[in-house]
């Protein structure tokens, strides 16, 4: 961890990083997972790879939108102030953008450039989501049992209508029994 610097500089670093990154989260907050991992774990050493994966899992288990992993990372770095700053930084720039575009969207609906923009972003989002899955899977004690859980969950989600909480419960149970 890198908490020895002044907490103000930590807060500024959190704010700057998440404000910029939010604008590149094409297709949703999960698209930013690899970038958050790269910066928080590899560059700033705010948390270990293990803690990052734990934070992701905890955010999945807590009700709320996906981006609350950002709140958790902010809390880890700089306590409650960090949690608030990181969340606001992650939401404010894109909220302002959404506010402006939401008001103007009636005007450009159906414009050709709008269609090209939408279609052009689909494969990028796809690549980013695949990268997120890879980053989450590459945690320290990811072994063949964990890989089997990943594959089984993917199959269940694709071919059955099961609430994701059941998959999480089953996976947590396998972990609790010491099988991972």
Partner 1 sequence: MAMNFPPGPAADPPAPKPNSKVPAAPQPEPAPRPNIAELFTAFAAISLSGFGGVLAWARRIMVEKRRWLTAEQFNEAFALCAFLPGGNMVNFSVIFGSRLRGPLGALAALAGLLGPPMVLITAVGALYAHYGDLPVLRRMLTGVAAAAAGLMLATVAKMARPLFKKPFKNRAVIGPVIALATFTAIGILHWPLPVVLAVIVPVSITAAWLQS
- What is the footprint of partner 1 within residues 77-136 (CB under 8 A)? 80, 83-84, 87, 90-91, 93-95, 97-99, 101-103, 105, 110, 112-136
Give the footprint of partner 1 on residues 23-82 (CB under 8 A): 23-32, 34-35, 38, 42, 50-51, 53-68, 71-72, 75-76, 80
Specify the length of the chain in residues: 180
Residue written as token pair 């709140």: 71
When the beta carbons of 13 and 128 are compared against partner 1, the nearer one is 128
Least separation in angstroms between residue 8's CB and partner 1 is 20
When the beta carbons of 44 and 170 are compared against partner 1, the nearer one is 170
Question: How far from 123 is each of 29, 87, 110, 118, 128, CA to CA, in Å?
Answer: 16, 27, 21, 10, 9
Residue written as token pair 């905890």: 58
Residue written as token pair 């709320």: 64
Integer Cα distance of 123 and 129 in angstroms? 10
Burial class from Cβ neighbours inside 10 Å (0-12, 13-18, 19+) for residue 28 reads middle
Least separation in angstroms between residue 56's CB and partner 1 is 6
Least separation in angstroms between residue 5's CB and partner 1 is 19
Least separation in angstroms between residue 15's CB and partner 1 is 15
Least separation in angstroms between residue 11's CB and partner 1 is 15
Alpha carbon 116 to chain centroid, angstroms: 26
Q: Is 8 in the site for partner 1 (CB under 8 A)?
A: no
How many other C-beta atoms lie within 10 A of the C-beta of residue 10?
22
When the beta carbons of 12 and 169 are compared against partner 1, the nearer one is 169
């Amino acid at each position: 961890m890198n908490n020895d610097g002044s907490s103000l500089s930590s807060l500024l670093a959190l704010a700057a990083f998440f404000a910029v990154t939010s604008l590149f989260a094409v297709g949703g907050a999960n698209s930013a997972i690899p970038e958050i991992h790269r910066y928080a774990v590899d560059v700033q050493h705010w948390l270990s790879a293990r803690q990052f994966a734990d934070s992701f899992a905890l955010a999945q288990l807590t009700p709320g939108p996906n981006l609350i992993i950002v709140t958790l990372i902010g809390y880890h770095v700089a306590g409650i102030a960090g949690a608030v700053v990181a969340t606001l930084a992650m939401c404010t720039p894109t909220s302002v953008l959404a506010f402006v575009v939401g008001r103007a969207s009636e005007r450009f609906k159906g414009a050709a450039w709008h269609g090209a923009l939408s279609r052009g972003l689909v494969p990028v989002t796809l690549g980013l989501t695949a990268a997120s899955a890879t980053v989450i899977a590459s945690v320290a004690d990811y072994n063949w049992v964990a890989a089997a859980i990943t594959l089984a969950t993917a199959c269940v989600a694709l071919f059955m209508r099961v609430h994701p909480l059941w998959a999480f419960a089953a996976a947590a149970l396998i972990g609790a029994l010491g099988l991972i």
